[in-house]
Structure 1
């Protein structure tokens, strides 16, 4: 039996980097659709696309997809998805992409992909069957809204094929046939040209750090964290975040309670995490950090920071040296 790891991602609604949305907007621009139109109703702005660290929810990306598909014959949704998928490259995926590139063999790369699937931009989830020296991979759109499922499947299968071709250049990449990509041991044991075990281990460690915070919260709570981060400058009011999720504040409160969370707790978590990140750079004054976190006054931020850490922001920075 081949040592294939089970996919880590169990649902498609994990937060994702903005790079995927950037590619959707670029594809729309090539069709003559302006960015403002394809971003309409998503809660995202053109300025957000310029921030490589910006995160979006799966729901926001799906809104952009729906805007992109306006005017497209539904029979062509799959082909439209494949056209977008071919825009994805290993470099698109940042640290995750470097972990793939530095894998020693193709089998190593496949396992890295399955282990950190939630660092990809895929909405389809991998289903892997390994037996008799062969591996069959399909991408499931179960749970993906039916009106965009064909686009998602086309995009994500094309992206996988494109990335496989870049990992092992000079060799035709395997293709999905009737929804299944099948490879044998000879392909999986192929050494990758940039493979290096020590480098791969370093990037895997970085991937672990990236997914740790994302996996700490799941479901609605994770989506709320992403939306709070986007709305902090305006104070991240719960009713506004709830509206972004298509529900009332009361419904959001109930949904969070069912997951053992509360809006106030999530707001505090996001603010504390971002506060320490910004203060650690040493580039921002305490007043500027307070403003970016949605506090009307620096004194309110200082009191909150002391509650989180037991120290004032200035003392925390000084203790870090």
Structure 2
């Protein structure tokens, strides 16, 4: 299962939408195909699947382009409040060492798409940001976001002390854009990996806002929140997230089963027990996204086909007719906002 395949709160999705709106997009353009509404983003009880957040990021990149520094701009918008219980638990940690351990242990609550891995050393501890499982089209964006988020939030906890730096494999314009947004945190570019490096000399230094009693209580809440989110999810929720994440590559039930570390027969059985099938889920996602994309003036049928994982416009048109009984050119939505080839 990909490290990023976990449900999350609405904080990260809201920040992405705010980023898009500040760059001239509408909320609707940011949310197309995500299955989320403006109202749901403001509801603290809404649970967001990773695939939905990926869809929002893709909408923004599709409109604005994969601009160096765009992901870092998203990371700069984070506050500890936006991170909820996980953020407050970080703030209450006793030492830098405790903060790192708790942050990695409950990384699912941080909205991260990277996989954090702790690599101990004699004179430093390194938290590697493994990005291998992030879809390639949004990989640089989300790595930028995580690095900038850490650079924005970590000084709030550890203060102005030295001993923390960031390493990245980025070079060229992306490295320059990231450096401009990291403030006083030292950055090494062209490295073999993305990582946060902390000198062992500061690992056991007490943190200014530490409170062992509060930290213990908040960690218990982190454990309970993780269990609750996983309990609510079900197999169909995980499959929807993976389909959304890889929709443009035409995901198959075999590939999704591999991601979930189950055999195909088991996956089919679990979906049937939840009242659905893989074909129904992928058709539902594609049909919903198609209707929304058809409202955008200027987008071509070929563009829509590519977004939905079809080889060409003809394949998409046949599928659309199967779903609706109409051709996309003659749908009510298409008449309201004509689609140009």
TM-score class, shorter-chain normalisation, is 0.5 to 0.7
User: In structure 1, what is the equivalent of residue 165 of structure 2?
Assistant: 174
* Contact 1:134-1:182 within 8 A present in 2 as well: yes
TM-score by length of 1: 0.66
Q: How far apart are residue 218 of structure 1 and its match? A: 8.1
Q: How far apart are residue 255 of structure 1 and its match? A: 5.5
* Contact 2:2-2:133 within 8 A present in 1 as well: no
Per the alignment, in what secondary structure is the counterpart of residue 56 of structure 1? Answer: coil
**1:261 equivalent in alignment to 2:270:** yes
* Contact 1:221-1:256 within 8 A present in 2 as well: no
Q: How far apart are residue 262 of structure 1 and its match? A: 3.7
**1-side partners of 2:275 and 2:88: how far apart?**
31
**1-side partners of 2:234 and 2:134: how far apart?**
14
* 1:114 to 1:249, Cα distance in 2 relative to 1, 3 A: closer
Unaligned runs of 5+ in 2: 168-187, 258-262, 277-341
**1-side partners of 2:201 and 2:213: how far apart?**
24
Q: How far apart are residue 42 of structure 1 and its match? A: 0.9
**1-side partners of 2:102 and 2:233: how far apart?**
21
**2-side partners of 1:248 and 1:140: how far apart?**
23
* 1:187 to 1:60, Cα distance in 2 relative to 1, 3 A: same
Q: How far apart are residue 263 of structure 1 and its match? A: 4.8
User: In structure 1, what is the equivalent of residue 91 of structure 2?
Assistant: 101
User: In structure 1, what is the equivalent of residue 222 of structure 2?
Assistant: 207
User: In structure 1, what is the equivalent of residue 151 of structure 2?
Assistant: 161
**1:125 equivalent in alignment to 2:140:** no
* Contact 2:40-2:46 within 8 A present in 1 as well: yes
**2-side partners of 1:128 and 1:248: how far apart?**
32
TM-score by length of 2: 0.63
**1-side partners of 2:25 and 2:233: how far apart?**
34
Pairs aligned (count) = 243
Per the alignment, in what secondary structure is the counterpart of residue 17 of structure 1? Answer: coil
User: In structure 1, what is the equivalent of residue 36 of structure 2?
Assistant: 44
User: In structure 1, what is the equivalent of residue 50 of structure 2?
Assistant: 58
User: In structure 1, what is the equivalent of residue 297 of structure 2?
Assistant: none
**1:151 equivalent in alignment to 2:141:** yes
Q: How far apart are residue 161 of structure 1 and its match? A: 1.8
User: In structure 2, what is the equivalent of residue 294 of structure 1?
Assistant: none
* Contact 1:43-1:244 within 8 A present in 2 as well: no
* Contact 2:51-2:243 within 8 A present in 1 as well: no
Q: Deviation string for 1:48-84 (max 9, x for gaps)?
A: 111022111111111100111124343x24x111111
* Contact 1:89-1:163 within 8 A present in 2 as well: yes
Unaligned runs of 5+ in 1: 1-8, 228-240, 268-321
CA RMSD of aligned residues (A): 3.3
**1-side partners of 2:268 and 2:103: how far apart?**
28
Q: How far apart are residue 214 of structure 1 and its match? A: 3.6
Q: How far apart are residue 168 of structure 1 and its match? A: 2.1
Which residue, 82, 85, 103 being the options, matches 1:113? Answer: 103
* 1:53 to 1:180, Cα distance in 2 relative to 1, 3 A: same
**2-side partners of 1:243 and 1:66: how far apart?**
11
User: In structure 1, what is the equivalent of residue 73 of structure 2?
Assistant: 83
Q: How far apart are residue 90 of structure 1 and its match? A: 1.4
